[in-house]
Amino acid sequence: MTEFLLLLLAHVIVDFYLQPTKWVIDKKEKKYKSRYLYFHVLLVILFSYILLHQWKNPLPAMALGIAHGVIDLIKITFDKKGSLTWFIADQAAHLATIAFTALILTSSILPGFETLITWFNKPKTLATLSGTLFTLNPVSFFVGILTKPWREELAALAPGADDNLANAGRWIGMSERLLIFVFVLVNQYSAIGFLIAAKSLLRYNDKTTDADIPPAYISKKSEYVLVGTLMSYTCAIAVALVVQMLSQKFH
């Protein structure tokens, strides 16, 4: 674990603190011809070697640096728009190579995989993962179906109203439910109250100056947001309580 954390620290420092925007732009434009790509790889090797402080064995740091460069090159070649999917895939690949290197250094590849499989097959782990996934998209669809009549009513009141960011409500809802799910699992119910209070403050002055939108639309939209929020929170709490019950019963 120590080796993994040291290599992870080196990765975070080099990838997020020692990589200027100029380097990133140049790598995207010139790809493998960019000198900054190789500077970046050298920094990964240097910091990994220093933090590991295995002075007689530079090979792990060198292998990790080369793998880091290959992963970065794949990302900048295929990621044309700087998408979130590619960012997550890029970081996941880096973490995988770091974990693999750490396992090699500790000669615990097989025990490490066996420990991971054992952890994954535990009822508590499976219940938590399933509950997390259920709290996100499935609950979004469920709440969306329940609140559909009110959305249609709002659309009828102000057909041309477009005062929301695309998919913002969905992502806000998923983020809130994930937080509540975690709060319930760690028995921090007071944090849920803080979250509700924070959202109430943000919505307090929610209004529009558009003369074409009737006042009834504003008040009804506030009620719609409140109902949707309460439904969303209730579902998240219910799922978390079920996960807690299953975890305690089958631990």
Reported as a single tens digit per residue, the pLDDT across 71-118 is: 999 999 888 887 888 899 999 999 999 988 888 888 766 676 777 788
User: Residue 4 in contact with residue 98, Cβ under 8 Å?
Assistant: yes
Helices 59-78 and 35-52 meet at what angle, rounded to 10? 140
Q: Tell whether 104 and 196 lie within a shared domain.
A: no
| Phi, psi for residue 55 in degrees, rounded to 5 | -60, -30
Q: What is the b/e burial string over 122-147, where b = at least 16 CB atoms within 10 angstroms of the residue's CB?
A: eebeebbeebbebbbeebbeebeeeb
pLDDT band of residue 36 (cuts 50, 70, 90) is: very high
Supply the range of the domain harboring residue 71: 2-119
Query: Which pLDDT score is estimated for 179?
Result: 92
Mean pLDDT of 137-158: 83
Q: Tell whether 108 and 131 lie within a shared domain.
A: no
Q: Tell whether 134 and 202 lie within a shared domain.
A: yes
pTM of the model: 0.67
Q: Tell whether 155 and 222 lie within a shared domain.
A: yes
Q: Report the chain's mean pLDDT, rounded to a whole number.
A: 84
Largest CA distance in the chain: 74
Q: Tell whether 13 and 113 lie within a shared domain.
A: yes
Q: Tell whether 115 and 129 lie within a shared domain.
A: no
Residue after which a domain boundary falls, among 89, 119, 149: 119
pLDDT band of residue 183 (cuts 50, 70, 90) is: very high
| Residue 78 DSSP symbol | H
pLDDT band of residue 219 (cuts 50, 70, 90) is: confident
Q: Tell whether 91 and 185 lie within a shared domain.
A: no
Q: Tell whether 177 and 152 lie within a shared domain.
A: yes
Query: Which pLDDT score is estimated for 65?
Result: 93
pLDDT in tens, 37-69: 999 999 999 999 999 888 888 999 999 999 999
For 159, half-sphere exposure in the C-beta direction (CA atoms, 13 angstrom radius) is 1
CA distance 76 to 86: 9
Q: Looking at the 3D structure of the chain, how many domains does it have? A: 2
Query: Which pLDDT score is estimated for 166?
Result: 58
CA distance 76 to 40: 14
